[in-house]
Each structure stands twice: as C-alpha cells, then as structure tokens.
Structure 1
Amino acid sequence: MRVMVTGGAGFIGSNLVDRLELDGHEVVVVDDLRRGRKENLANAAAEFIELDVTGPHVDDVVASAAPEVIFHLAAQIDVRLSVCRPVEDAQQNVLGALNVAEAARRHGTRKIVFASSGGAIYGAPERLPVAETAPIEPRSPYAAAKVSIEVYLNTYRRLHGLDCTHLALANVYGPRQHAVGEAGVVAVFAERMLAGRPTKVFGDGGNTRDYVYVDDVVTAFATAAGTVGGGQRYNIGTGIQTSDLELHTLVAKAVGGAAEPEFAPSRLGDVRASALDSAAARRDLGWQPTVDLDEGVRRTVRHFRR
C-alpha cells in the first residue's frame, strides 16, 4: 500500500515510518522540519518532501503521491504556546488538517488516520481512566483544535466518503523524542540527568499522566489504517496514572542516580490527572500496550546515552 505520513520526520512520525516500511508499505514523508529532523529518517527508504501542510502546495504533493492512506501527525504540539498564541495554533493545526483533508478528497485517498490527544480533549474528567464516551471538555486552544479536526474529518466522511479514524493518544515517549514541553517530559528528565543538570517538576509533583511507549503507538496507527473504525475515536494509552515525581524516580533509576527535582509553580492549562481507557481499541483494533513504563524508560535512557 502507498501511504503518506505528515510530520513523518518527527518523533512519533519517524517511528511510524519505520513500522510502515517494515510492514512492506511504500511511504511518502511530508514534514516542514520545524520540529522534525532529517536524521530521524536516516534508515528509511521513504521519499521525503519538505513542506508546510498549511501552504498552497499540499494539493500538488498529494496528487503526485496518490496515497491510499494519509497518517496526519503534522501539528503544533505545545499546549503553552497555544494558550499564548491561539491563532497561530489554529492556523497550524486546524487549517493544516483541512488543507490535507481537501487534498485527500480531491485525489482519491481512502482514509486519514489522525493523531488526536487523549491527554487534552477530555479536560478534567470525573472518573479515570476515561473512555471515549466521556464528555469533551478542552481546556486549551491546542485541545480545542484537536476536537475541531475530529469534527471536520467526520464531516468530510459524511459529505465526501473520505474515511477517517482518530487516535486519542496518551503521553507518548520513547527514542527520538524532543526534550521539549510537557509531552516530552521523559526525554527532558533523561537528557538533563545524563548531563548532570538540574531537573524541575511543576506544582507539588502530584500531577499524573498516562505514559505509552512509542512502539505501541505506531502499532495502533498501522492497525487503524484498515477498514475498521471508520469515523471513530480510539483512546491509545495504558490506563495507568503515573505522577511527575514517580516518573522522575523511574528515570533517575534508569540513569543510575538519585537526583532530586526542583519545584516550580503550576502552569496555566495543566490538567491535574489523566489516564485513558483503551478497551475500545482492544475490542475493535485488537490493540493493547505491550511495553510497561519501567522497560520503556530504560529503552529511552539507552537511546539518549547514545
């Protein structure tokens, strides 16, 4: 199958490219390299096209590539930036996704598999782990953009027959992750500890997140490319809450030290607790996580040592 990965030189995207090629697919990568890195694709045979998905040439690229499936991962991923510059966030995320959807509609793409955010779109749910049936309560422009894109893609499905599946990801971590932002906290801790630099947690260190290893996430994307799950959102996480302090201890153990973090004030837009119920993905896609946090952290630290 011929496929396209937008944001394919990034952390999750490049790992997905590796998986798709391993599965025998012909891959075209689109990335503007604002966050992605060409070296992430050093071992890939994929055709690489440097392109901003918000720009005017997306249509030409999709027409030429003729992908059966587009995995749309290109995005502005910084929640704090979305709070400070919401228009910029919407331009990159919402308008970028619409650009891709329009090109896909025009040129016969069968399906878009979209990277949504399970850690953001549900806000602060009353019960955890949260299922897809929970109310949507975005608390940042970033989260609002993810919800908007899901709605737009489902509208395209009804209007034009362009199929879609949305994967609401927990906090993904693993090799090639940028040490930037909340979602990159494992990489941040690992890089700073290995360099002997101080680490920092926000608030009292009790905020919890659901951490899912990147290899498990790309398996979910590859599985969602089929005919199952049209128009559906699937949570992709472990269902396990891990606090910032617990994660800090795990990374310190993998590094081989006993570093103590500094504490900083809580940040605007932070969600206190998050964990995803992935029962629907198990039921429909046959997906479940296979790498526990302790092992995943060890693999990630080994990557940063190299």
Structure 2
Amino acid sequence: MAASAPPLFTRQKVTRHDQRVFLIRLLGVAVLLTAGITAQIYGGPIGVGLGVLILACTYTHMVELQHQCLHHSAFRTARWHRIVGVPLGLPLLVSYSDYRVRHLQHHRFLGTPNDSEFFGFDTRQPITWKTLLLGAFDYIRLVRVLNAIGASILGRWTYTSGQISPRRRADVIQEYRLMAILLTALIAACALGAWQEVLLLWFVPLLLAAPIHFLVELPEHVLCEADTDDVLRNTRSITGSRLSTWFTNGNNLHVEHHAAMAVPLNRLRARHSEVLKLARHVDHSYPDFYWRILKIATHNTLRTPPARTDTTTTSAEQPTPQEFRWLRF
C-alpha cells in the first residue's frame, strides 16, 4: 500500500533522493544551455532564433532552481545552497543573497502591509493591460541592479526593506561585485569583436527572459485576498502538467510551498490533493489562468474602473472560461 501524503503544513527534511532530483535538474540545465548554443552555431537563421528562445527559457528555469536554493531545500548541506545558487542567478543578474533576504521576508509578511518581493510587480494593483505590460517588460529592474552593483563596488550598498545582518550584507556586496566582474568581461569581449556572441548568447535572452519570468511569477498571489495571512486564501496553485511543474520547478504548486516553505519542491505534488479540497484559488492549467487574466485586463482597461481599496476580487472580475480545459500546462 502506498504511503499517504503528509498533511499540507508538515515540514520535511531534504533526503538523498531530493538532492539527487535537484542534481538531475542541474544536469538538465547544462543540456539546455548546450542545445541553445549549438542551435545558434549550426542552425542558421532559424537556429539563432530557436537558440535565443531556449537560452531565455533556460535562464528563467535557473532562477526557479535558485528559488529552491533560497529555501535551503535542495541539498542536505546548507553551504551548497549559496555555492550553487549564486551562479544560477548570474545570467539574469539576480543576487542570491539579496533575493534570499527579500524573499524570506515575503514569506514572513505575506498578507500584511509589509509584504514585498524581490521582483517588483505588485499583484494587489488593478489588472489592466498597462500594468501587465509594465510588469512583463520591467527593464527598470536592470537599472536597479546596475545601481546596486555601483553601490557595492563603493561598499555603500544598504538594505532598505528591513533588517539585514552584517554577514548577509557582505554576501550581497560580494555577489554584486561578482556581477561587476562578469559585466566587465562581457564588455571586454564586445570590444575585442565578440559583440554578436554576447548579444545572442546573453543580452537578447536576458531581455526575452524578463516577460517569461513574469508569466511564471504572476499567478502566485494575483487576484487572491491580500488582506489575510491565510495561505489557503492569499496564494494560488495551478495543477498544471509535468512539463509546467518541471519548468517552474514546482512554483505552480504555490499554496503547497507557502504552507511549508522548506519542503523540497519535488515533494509538493503529493500535497496537491489536499490543496484542491481546501484552497480557494486553484487553477487547472496555465492557459486557464492566463485566459482569465487577459479577459480581466481587457475588461478593466475598457471600463477604466475607479481605484479600489478592497483587494478581494468579485466574481464579475473573475470570469471562469472553459476554452482551455482540454490543455493542461
């Protein structure tokens, strides 16, 4: 008889099996990076476009793997999380330690006025085409990264969203200085004539990864109750498929994650049946969710509703189309 799934809020330690699963996913990253580069070198014009898309998706996937490292739920030894987590974020210029401090604060304060996230889209604002486009193409984040790099080089970087220990601040500064070295190397490569390689292997995928990552992050809390700390009401899960669960590294099972954030993400699927019974916001698939968001954005953009103070979404603002019920992604 199969063992029953653990209760939703039960903690679980990282096992050797969990660690192997994560290592296999890192191996998958290496395969995808190789595929993206190979497509650009040997695939002609079509291969260049395909390679850029593969790299953009891979860089996005790497940040989702970094997210697991933030929670120390990938390895049995804690120190490996930063060792692996730092390079996972470099293609998208995401500091592991800065992200970790801000993200754990998000877990602590979700459902309160103090809630904030490393990636700046405020899911509590009205959903319109304008807010979606600004969130999807948030290249201002890159300007903030450059500012953080400059401040770190001068030793002046400070954390403005709460408390941070001197050790963690030193880690953040070290990582932004590492990015400075990386960017200097890329600029030098461009100066030596490799500008096309830098453009296609990193810069264009970086720009394309921004909206892809936005689409991964958007479902987590948007159109959920922002005035409660009840994870069954302020967070959304998406049942999805094996493909979407792999690509988002279990981020689709977000209620499960917030209920027990240190549980290895590969174990969250076992808890989904309980979420289906208890949680208020669960979608069948990503197409279901995005279709509803697009209809709400169109409705709100055309209607131009007055600003609301109540973040609870009414049924009128949450159409429940069935057009994509056949496609689970």
Computing the radius of gyration over CA atoms, which structure comes out larger, 1 or 2? 2
TM-score, scaled to structure 1? 0.31
Structure 2 length-normalised TM: 0.29
Q: Which has the higher contact order (CA 8 A, sep 6+)?
A: 2
Greater percentage in strand: 1
